[in-house]
């Protein structure tokens, strides 16, 4: 039997047909319903002339139809291409053309991303029929028998495009095997399986958001859809849905902290037993706030990428002793840390090898070869340190390292110092051109609501903790930092705008 991301839904439709799989506001979808609707979508796409292996773009936010669309595409032997609704029409056009998408499923509320774009021949639309026939009408016109198109588990279920922070976005080809194993291991690690309730907080069009929003329906749990990020709404949903496991990124924790203690006390969060974070290691002050605010909750910090999947996890038992660490290698994962000459080292570039790795970049063998080794390891692009216990600490992105006067400076070290100052909510550090030193350290600082941060006091704080070359030469206070859908700071935007 081949692993497939549709497999769990097929199994659970037989084993637990009346169990609620997806919650979206007042709407509820059981496993029987999810199996039925996803099979109908598969048949509608095949009836439109699509053939196994062809690609279907998905332009949706977090809503009930996302899991059924993903499963239906897989049942038809097709390949999903998730689109970020924040893309410009030019970016969308590039992706649709690059992957040769044959169909598009979209929410017309997000149509700005395809404004003026030449669309594929088959379009199914939710919330209107301006761009294509009704999605629900299409499902109603076909049968509910599962077509069961067989696909080898190493074949792709998805092509996920990178954010393009270093140039044109690349299509990351991800197999059924990779994600199915991720779902099962996630259920084991973070409690997403039978009888468990969670919330899809991060956008499902992003790799991590999809992995942790879809894993519950693959493994027998129930997932509630948070349509758009709002910290108060999340707290209300945890209370209403009695959610147990919730995936967040550091930005979410910042905004929850900004609500204040009263907002947290006003909601019954007693059902919550697991929080897990991704995107970047939590700054020390924020990690301590999370641990103190949710004392009975197991807090995990995981690390990975679209290309590599999950690489490591810092589990609750180590949460306080190893603040700043992203833990040890995850299930079925090997890591290798090497110096600039490729020799094993305690500090250097991190490579990983696991069944979660991508198949490669779509139609880009040169880029694939540039990030992989002959024996199957994939670079993370990060510089890390490993302590004597084997715990991994991210020093910084290799491309974000600042070289000032010949000194290598890790932005994260400076950011940790900045965020430890009272009143600072968040910070990002980048290197800006400097005629004398090559680059100078520039800091962008976000202040907590209601707080006042004195620039001179902040500078003095830095001088007591950082060597001269690491001190920020420019400090700019900003209302928010630019981030992608995964919550990662877009440092290129900060550099390009200055």
Does residue 93 sit within a domain? yes
Residues 354/175, Cβ–Cβ less than 8 Å: no
Does residue 114 sit within a domain? yes
Residue recorded with tokens 């932005």: 411
Question: According to the model, what pLDDT value does residue 406 have?
Answer: 65
Residues 147/76, Cβ–Cβ less than 8 Å: yes
Domain end position, chosen among 150, 174, 198: 174
Residue 124: give its domain's CATH number.
Answer: 3.40.50.980
Residue recorded with tokens 């998805």: 158
Give the separation between CA 145 and CA 370, rounded to whole angstroms: 44
Average pLDDT over residues 76-90: 94
Same domain, 102 and 247: no
Residue 450, class by beta-carbon neighbours within 10 Å (0-12 exposed, 13-18 middle, 19+ buried)? Answer: exposed
Residue 418: give its domain's CATH number.
Answer: 3.30.300.30
- pTM: predicted TM-score of the whole model, two decimal places: 0.85
Same domain, 159 and 19: yes
Question: According to the model, what pLDDT value does residue 411 have?
Answer: 86
- State the DSSP code for 448: P
Give the separation between CA 18 and CA 36, rounded to whole angstroms: 12
Average pLDDT over residues 423-433: 90
Same domain, 424 and 490: yes
Give the separation between CA 457 and CA 475, rounded to whole angstroms: 12
Q: Give how many domains the chain has, as a whole number.
A: 3
Same domain, 82 and 154: yes
Domain end position, chosen among 128, 152, 174: 174
Same domain, 170 and 48: yes
Give the separation between CA 225 and CA 237, rounded to whole angstroms: 9
Same domain, 340 and 444: no
Residue 18 confidence (pLDDT) above 80:
yes
Does residue 378 sit within a domain? no
Give the separation between CA 296 and CA 302, rounded to whole angstroms: 19
Give the separation between CA 443 and CA 223, rounded to whole angstroms: 38
Does residue 341 sit within a domain? yes
| One-letter-per-residue 3-state SS of 401-444 | CEEECCEEECHHHHHHHHHCCCCEEEEEEEEEEECCCEEEEEEE
Does residue 337 sit within a domain? yes
Give the separation between CA 409 and CA 395, rounded to whole angstroms: 10
pLDDT tens, position by position, 117-161:
999 999 999 999 899 999 999 999 999 999 999 999 999 999 999
Same domain, 29 and 107: yes
- State the DSSP code for 317: G
Average pLDDT over residues 420-449: 88
Same domain, 63 and 157: yes
Residue 165 confidence (pLDDT) above 50:
no
pLDDT tens, position by position, 388-410:
999 999 887 777 778 786 677 88
Same domain, 305 and 249: yes
Does residue 215 sit within a domain? no
Same domain, 33 and 104: yes
The residue segments making up the domain with residue 137 are 7-174
- State the DSSP code for 109: G
Residues 253/230, Cβ–Cβ less than 8 Å: no
Domain end position, chosen among 130, 154, 174: 174
Does residue 423 sit within a domain? yes
Average pLDDT over residues 158-178: 85
- The total number of residues shown for the chain amounts to 498
Residue 278: give its domain's CATH number.
Answer: 3.40.50.12780
Does residue 193 sit within a domain? no
Same domain, 427 and 353: no
Residue 262 confidence (pLDDT) above 50:
yes
- In 76-158, which residue ranges form alpha helices assigned H by DSSP? 89-98, 135-140
Same domain, 235 and 336: yes
Question: According to the model, what pLDDT value does residue 498 have?
Answer: 74
CA 210 to chain centre: 7
Give the separation between CA 131 and CA 111, rounded to whole angstroms: 8
Q: Which of 109, 111, 22 is nearest to 70 (CA)?
A: 22
């Amino acid at each position: 039997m081949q692993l497939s991301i549709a497999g769990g839904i097929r199994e659970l439709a037989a084993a637990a047909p009346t169990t609620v799989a997806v919650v979206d506001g007042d709407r509820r979808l059981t496993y029987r319903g999810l199996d039925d609707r996803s099979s109908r979508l598969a048949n509608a796409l095949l009836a439109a002339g699509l053939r196994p292996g062809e690609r279907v773009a998905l332009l949706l936010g977090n809503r009930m139809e996302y899991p059924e669309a993903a499963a239906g595409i897989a049942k038809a032997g097709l390949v999903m291409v998730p689109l970020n609704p924040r893309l410009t029409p030019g970016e969308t056009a590039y992706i649709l053309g690059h992957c040769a998408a044959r169909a598009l499923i979209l929410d017309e509320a997000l149509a700005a991303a395809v404004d003026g774009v030449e669309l594929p021949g088959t379009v199914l639309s939710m919330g209107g029929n301006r761009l294509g026939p009704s999605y629900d009408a299409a499902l109603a016109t076909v049968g509910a028998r599962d077509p069961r198109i067989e696909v080898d588990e190493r074949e792709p279920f998805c092509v996920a495009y990178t954010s393009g922070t270093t140039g044109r976005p690349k299509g990351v080809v991800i197999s059924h095997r990779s994600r199915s194993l991720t779902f099962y291991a996630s259920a084991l690690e973070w409690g997403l399986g039978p009888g468990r309730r969670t919330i899809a907080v991060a956008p499902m069009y992003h790799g991590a958001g999809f992995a942790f929003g879809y894993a519950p329906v693959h493994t027998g749990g129930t997932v509630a859809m948070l349509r758009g990020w709002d910290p108060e709404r999340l707290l209300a949903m945890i209370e209403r849905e009695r959610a147990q496991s919730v995936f967040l990124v550091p930005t979410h924790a910042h905004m929850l902290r900004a609500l204040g203690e009263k907002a947290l006390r006003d909601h019954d969060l007693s059902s919550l037993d697991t929080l897990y974070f991704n995107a970047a290691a939590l700054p020390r002050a924020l990690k301590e706030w999370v641990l103190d605010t949710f004392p009975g909750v197991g807090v995990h910090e995981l690390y990975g990428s679209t290309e590599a999947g999950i690489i490591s996890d810092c589990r609750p038992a180590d949460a306080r002793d190893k603040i700043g660490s992203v833990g040890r290698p995850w299930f079925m994962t090997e890591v290798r840390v090497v110096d600039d000459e490729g020799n094993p080292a305690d500090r250097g570039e991190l490579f990983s090898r696991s069944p979660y790795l991508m198949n490669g970049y779509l139609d880009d063998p040169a880029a694939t070869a540039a990030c992989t080794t002959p024996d199957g390891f994939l670079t993370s692009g990060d510089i890390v340190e490993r302590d004597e216990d084997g715990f991994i600490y991210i020093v910084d992105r290799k491309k974000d390292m600042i070289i000032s006067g010949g000194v290598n400076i890790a932005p994260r070290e400076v950011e940790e110092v900045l965020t430890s100052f009272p009143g600072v909510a968040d910070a990002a550090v980048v290197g800006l051109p400097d005629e004398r030193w090559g680059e100078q350290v520039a800091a962008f600082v976000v202040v907590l609501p209601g707080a006042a941060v004195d620039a001179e006091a902040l500078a003095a704080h830095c001088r007591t903790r950082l060597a001269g070359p690491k001190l920020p030469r420019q400090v700019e206070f900003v209302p928010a930092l630019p981030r992608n859908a995964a919550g990662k700071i877009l440092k290129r935007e900060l550099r390009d705008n200055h």
